[in-house]
Amino acid sequence: AVERHRTAQLEARAELNNPGARVLEPGYEFTGDENAPTLPRPEELADYHADLGSKCPSDIDIDSSVRKYCTEVLGNDDAEKTVLVLGNSHAQQWIPAIKTYAQDHNWRVIAYVGQGCFYTEASQQPKTQPHCAGWFEHSEHLLTSNDFDTVFLQGTFASVESERVNENLTSAIRRLTGRGTTVVGIRDNPRFKEGLTQCALTLGRDDPQCTQVPPAVRQDDPQKALADGIDGYVTVDMTSFICPGGSCHPVIGNVYVFADTNHLSAPYGESLIDAFGDQLTEALS
């Protein structure tokens, strides 16, 4: 009971004490408690998977063998658009931002998420994730048999050393846009050999070893040329809010930025909702 009460107090004060990426907005002034605990608490770091909503609706045409990967994030009988979030956990982490934007724009949101899978080609699915072969195999049927106005997917693939656009993904994007579907490529977030948050918990958040500059952060979004060349393909790049000024810090706005070596923490992802929405509005305009 004490622990639940403490958690409730931290959450109630989080908007003031733990603004996260909101501190990067022009003119932001911190008015919270400078001694407030940094969120998420260490024991909550692993809880970064965004809520995928309810089971797949009956009107979505999808093979029964992979229906378990389909969910309805936001239902809306009078939706102006139906959009799909397609990919793995790196697409899933943007669902809170996409859902908020969808609520404001009268959209319905469906997700098709396979943990550890890549929307590229069959041969590139991780051998350690045997379910990905079926997930990918039936993705094309899902896309061609349902009328999705917009598809959100992971547009680049980052590693510790580099970041690239996959050629097979480029072909898939052309197929989608050729059918009149708008595709939003979300730039992948940086990845690290060792977690910055874990470093901060061990050495302290201000230790210089816990701030890194991955090679991918030094370059422009690799999707730019692709977006310039494909009508209907637009991009969202949140790198400047994840690693502002080209450096990746363990803590921004009293929030741990990363949950592990390659995922954003849930509170930091939620603090990016407004910035994500602004970029999406600009991209779709």
Q: Does the pLDDT at position 267 exceed 90?
A: yes
pLDDT per residue as tens digits for the range 200-245: 999 999 999 999 999 889 899 999 999 999 999 999 999 999 999 9
What average pLDDT does range 140-151 have in this prediction? 96
When pLDDT is averaged across residues 144-159 and rounded to a whole number, the result is 96
At 210, the amino acid letter reads C
Q: Which of 189, 201, 174 is nearest to 48 (CA)?
A: 189
Is the pLDDT at 94 greater than 90, yes or no?
yes
Tell me which of 144-148, 163-167, 178-182 is least confident. 163-167
pLDDT at 220: 93
Strands (E), 64-176: 70-74, 81-87, 107-113, 150-154, 157-158, 163-164
In this prediction, residue 124 has a pLDDT band, given cuts at 50, 70 and 90, of confident
- Provide the pLDDT for residue 10: 66
Instruction: Kindly indicate the confidence band of residue 6, based on its pLDDT and cuts at 50, 70 and 90.
Output: low
The pLDDT, as a whole number, for residue 120 is 85
Look at the alpha carbons of 226, 263, 98, 273 in this order and tell me if their dihedral is positive or negative: negative
Q: Give me the CATH topology for the region 48-284.
A: Rossmann fold (3.40.50)
Q: Which of 124-138, 156-170, 263-277 has the highest mean pLDDT?
A: 263-277
* Summary mean pLDDT of the chain: 94
The structural domains of the chain, with segments of one domain joined by +, span: 48-284
> Quick check: helix, strand or coil at residue 11?
helix
The 10s digit of each residue's pLDDT in 30-87 is 999 989 999 999 999 999 999 999 999 999 999 999 999 999 999 999 999 999 999 9
